[in-house]
Structure 1
Amino acid sequence: MTADSDGRTTTATAPIGVSCVDPDGRLRPVVAALRAVDDVAVSVVGDVAAVEGNSDCCVLLHAPETETHDAVDGLAQLDEFVEAHPGVPVAVYGVDIESAMMTTREFARRVVDHGGDAAMTMAGERTELIVRRIKQVAGFEEHFQSDAALLDSLLESFPHQLFVKDDVGRFVDTSAVTAREYDFDREALMGLTDYELMPMSLAEDLYEEEQRIMATEEPMLNKVEHYVDAEGHSRWVNTTKAPRYDRAGAVTGIVGGTRDITEEKRQEHVVRAVHEASRDLVRAGDRTEIGDVTASIAEDIPALPRVQLVLADRTTGELQPVESDGEPSIYARYAEWCERAHERAEALFVLEDGSDAVTDWDAIERPAAALVPLGSHGVFGVTTGERTIDEFTYELANIFAANVEAALDRAERERELEHQNERLEEFTSIVSHDLRNPLSVASSSIELAKDDPKPAHLERADRALDRMEQLTEELLTLAKKGQTVGETDRVQLREAVLDTRESVSDQRANIVTEELATIEADRSRLVELLENLFRNAVEHGPADETDAVTVTVGMLADGFYVEDDGVGVPESEREAVFEMGYTGSDGGTGYGLYIVETIADAHGWSVRATESESGGARFEFTGVIR
């Protein structure tokens, strides 16, 4: 026999004789694999009785019944072969074992119980494995290493910490990983104890623990331990220890293994962080509270030492950081990249010096910050201060940011719902009060007309109905259009004024325009806003209905204005004029200027009432995109 480089011994003289009992051809993959090598001579027979007694090994078939084949009972054949050829090695090759309601493990056990040397269930294409397995059964391949060499190979190759100690805690041998953990090689570590490798208090605890294991002969299984490594990073290990025995059965020491489970524990932190974020953020009421909760949660997560919400202003759309006391502002340092991440709705990774940012994680080796967009709400920023972002921190930031975005979505929906409820209450008040009054007038006038059909009664009822119609139209405007805008676009303000002029039937308004610009607006809502201002000017115009009121539309530095030469608005009432139901005339509904303000708010504009040069009313709109 000779040994090859892998430690196997094979014959170098005559080929190995293998008899294959194949009654229906299903042993063909084994036969083909054996015939493909030079040092095996294969003979194929149909039954056990035909096997010659000088074979080095025999292979039997065990297979279930199929549509084209009868069942082959390899175990029965095995009993027959063992009786006829005692001492000849035999293997049973199983085909589709699991289809016969038997696991491969049960099959292997039954082959051994029936006196077989090996059960084989590998696929036919595993030719190298088939050949090597049969050579092993035949006794022509065996591992040459001694027990000591095998142990040494295990300790050099195994990727986790393994160690063997004697009864007083000295290291007898360790895996290479264990030695590297302590900055030794395996040989130098032998004979040392935990007292030379660890702090005294920890060494004492380990010694007592191992003495207890040897005294009770009870193993310690999967004990999770936490420590901080030399670089200041938290680490976790899972340790198992058991008593070690000599050949006489006496306890001679400890054998154990330690596996680093830091990544698993970090994943546990992820799960806990997600749970805490979901639970606490759900209870947060508004944006400010969500920002505070976000900062407090991050304080408890080591991988997220510094986070900041940068939220878009609801009116202007400008990003504004949610500041945390005592924390450096991520936005202050990376404002440009926050703006870009929000504008493009894509995550950015900032270079360590802050000079540039990329969208591809793999394109940057040491990102100083990650900026994760929060939909329309803004940006979630995370940085580790002096250290750079690693992949785990970024993954955790993504999970956390998703929870924050969901909380902001919920807060926004609740805010809109609350506002809708307020408007609903306002509408209820209008319907119950403002419409009820003219309805009562109309009803009483008609009743009077039944008894005394004077034109005055019907005229009074007609005026009340006209009043109801006016109220109804403006209520519908409030309900359907007043506070929402559709898609905005570039609108020439002059054209909007012309459209409005055509829609205002009252000829008492003389519209004057200065040089007007193009603005960003919802055209139909802008026309609606101007209509209400023009009507307001007419309603509060000259007392003499033959006189016309002059309405001027002009530009401001950051918006536009609409003014008239009427009676104006008293300074004490300039804020009140925008309240629902407020009116300064008997024929007014009190909803026109309320509609004006709601349309302006929906565009993100600000509106204020002041006085024109002629003493009339002037309404200025600012925050307008030109």
Structure 2
Amino acid sequence: MTDGAPDRRLRRSDALRRVTDGIVSLDTGFRYTYVNPQAERILDRPTDDLLGRTVWEAFPGTTGTVAETKLESAMATQEQQSFERHNAELDRWFDVRVYPDEGGLTVYFADVTERKRLERDLAETNRQLTALVENTVTPIYIKDTEGRYRLMNEAAADLFDLTPEDAVGTCDTELFDPESVPEISEVDERIVARDEADSREAVRYIDGRRHTFLDDKYPYHDANGDVVGVMGISRDITARKRRERELQKLSEEYEAVFDNAEDAIFLVDVETTDTAAVFRYERLNPAHEASTGLSTADVHGKTPREVLGEELGGEVVANYQRCVDARDAITYEETLTLPEGQRVWQTKLAPVIIDDEVTRIVGIARDITERVGRERELRRKNDRLDEFASVISHDLRNPLNVAQGRTALLLELCDDDYHGHLDPLAESLDRMAAIVADTLTLARQGKSVSDSCEIEVVDLVGQCWGGVETAEASLEIEDEFTIRGDWDRLRHVFENLFRNAVEHAGDTVTVRVGRGDDDSIYVKDDGPGIPETIRETVFEPGYTSAAGGTGFGLAIVKRIAEAHGWEVAVADGRDGGARFEFHGVDPLDD
């Protein structure tokens, strides 16, 4: 074949002119001898600019590239070469095939820039999808038609304590407990057979532990569109289902409390407006309906003013607004006039806050009419006690003091012959003074405690012990703790108990003070104790077994304890002796 024969053959071929690939011919010196129209267009260079010039002259950027290497290799070895190359000058990608012969090279090339861009975009998309699958906390997997896992992300593999690599090739019988496998297989087979998706809430057991999943499964297709497996996304909603069950339980318990509570309970919806909140009743519990004569049907959707009238409803709205403004529970008392008469209610309002907004108010109203009546009666009794104490203090104590003074004077002036009459008189007057003092204490200290403070028991007990004639007796404080109470009144409690111990157990008695179980404190001694048959009697006013005693000491102890809301009882000490226990104290150190 003579030089130039391939060129003439190519120029004569209309078929080559109609191909979509760019075609050029190079002689043995790598000079262009032929450029078809497609090549001219792709290279964006006129044929006249290329013919007779070498590749390196026409495109200097080709030097030192894979194109140079492949062209030289094809020329030297006379073997076909293929490669892809990015032309920086044209910013295009080309798929190049080089065919050598004795006259040079025929080069076919196609512009694959768009394909490369798509491949790059696809690779980026795949990278993103891979990262999403690998890093999402939702289990994702793919199984083949044999039920073997071909892909499992880390979230899915973690369910079985596996790595994603170790999970590949496993099947459901290896991963799930036996009771879960049949349903899994049945669902997968139906998806493959029908080529349709399936979504359901499914309970699965893994190593004996119950899991609830929200399963979304889809048929997995190959490039030809044939179903070759199942792909799935399984959201583990075990914790959510547990919360739902707990919420359901709480809701049922709430409904039980709401329906069966003895206190009146009501719900008020809160509508927030630009000017003020609007309150509308939602529900009343049966106790509320029974105590007020109103029903849920009567009040539902209505405002307090619509239900209770302008005056009373306005007061109720003001209290509801206080609760909204405080964003916390409030408690107050109110007097309502109902068909059966005037009743006093203690009402507690609590706001329900959602998304930082008060959306509802829950109210609990307790009928305290009887308690208020008892308190009023108690105040009347206390007033009478105050009057009685005043009479004793002024009208009786003054003449008693005069009689004691005159008797003391007579004892100094009279001969010893008269002392046989005057000594018993002086003793009787002293006893009367002691009774008066104890009666005043009993009357004044038995009132309910309204002003209390925190008291360190070790300080109170130490002061009381120092204020009593204890001879050779000893005190042991077995626990240090704090209580709340009236210091002055509690001083009478401990002083009377210390005197009682010395009087009945002797000058060498040991008295111990400490905490009992839970909410109790005790004062005990190592004396002879108190017989069980008289343990209730000892607290009655006037009871005494000691010569010269007034019988009011333990009665005062009981009254002051009750004024604090405590209960007092007598028991045996572990080592014998008397043990006075006070329950309901609720020490503050817990």
Normalised to the residue count of structure 2, the TM-score between the two structures is: 0.38
TM-score (structure 1 length as normaliser)? 0.36
Q: Which structure: larger Rg?
A: 2
